A and B are shown apart, each in its own frame.
Chain A
């Protein structure tokens, strides 16, 4: 498995750490993990740091996850980066909206490491 650069976007630092641990438990070889507390902060990081995978919460202050995904699609170099949403907002309308905006997957909190593996590996083609 090749090395993965991941960006985890969540306003909870605890959740960011849990997601990182789950990615490692899924067997991903993470060579670089970056963290952001909201979508705007994430866009700033992505401006200068290429990544292979983004995991993002939806319900965040400043810029929520749906707007973040929408903004990603407007930047050519970021359009192809796979995004998986991880959120408590597991309503069908949010799932449909996130996927229609360009997200490749959706994990609902609370989640097990196995669920992270099941949803993340396919979007990386693994």
Chain B
């Protein structure tokens, strides 16, 4: 991976108006290409307790923060099933792995859509959290974009938290 010094990083200005549709598009593309599934906006207010699986991917460089996706067990299982082309009941720990890869691809796709960012932002390997009773606190303060999709009738949160 190409190392870069902080002094060489281009200035990136957070722009919610532009970035929110780019984040949505990044997620939609990943689901359409890898799962042959079209995501739609979640109509009702989503119950936060319905997100027991979380995948986190860190961003470092000209964008610093975390991309997070959350869903319930059934949705994670269905994602793995669709990615692998196997019945959901045959999916085991693959559902965690699949969720992490999806988060990774959404993060990569998103940073690639931001002009000039791709070369100056690295992604971490994904981390999976099991359980919905937790809070995240960013030490850098900053900005957040969250979009909620409907996946197989269940909510799917895609959240981007960026440090100042």
Stretch at the interface among B11-19, B102-110, B136-144: B102-110
Report the contact-size class of chain B (Cβ under 8 Å from the partner). 20 to 34
Residues on A with beta carbons closer than 8 Å to the beta carbon of B2:
91, 93-94, 97
Pair A91/B105 contact, Cβ less than 8 Å: no
B101 contacts the other chain (Cβ, under 8 Å)? yes
B contact patch SS: helix
Q: List 9 A-B contacts (CB under 8 A).
A: A18-B34, A61-B125, A66-B1, A88-B104, A88-B107, A90-B118, A92-B119, A94-B2, A97-B2
Which residues of B pack against A, CB within 8 Å?
1-2, 29-30, 33-34, 80, 83-85, 94, 97-98, 100-101, 104-105, 107-109, 112, 118-125
Besides A89-B1, A91-B112, A109-B104, 8 new A-B residue pairs in contact (Cβ under 8 A), listed by A number: A14-B80, A14-B98, A88-B105, A89-B122, A91-B2, A91-B120, A94-B2, A109-B105
State the A residues within 8 Å of B (CB): 11-15, 17-18, 21, 58-61, 64, 66, 87-94, 97, 108-112
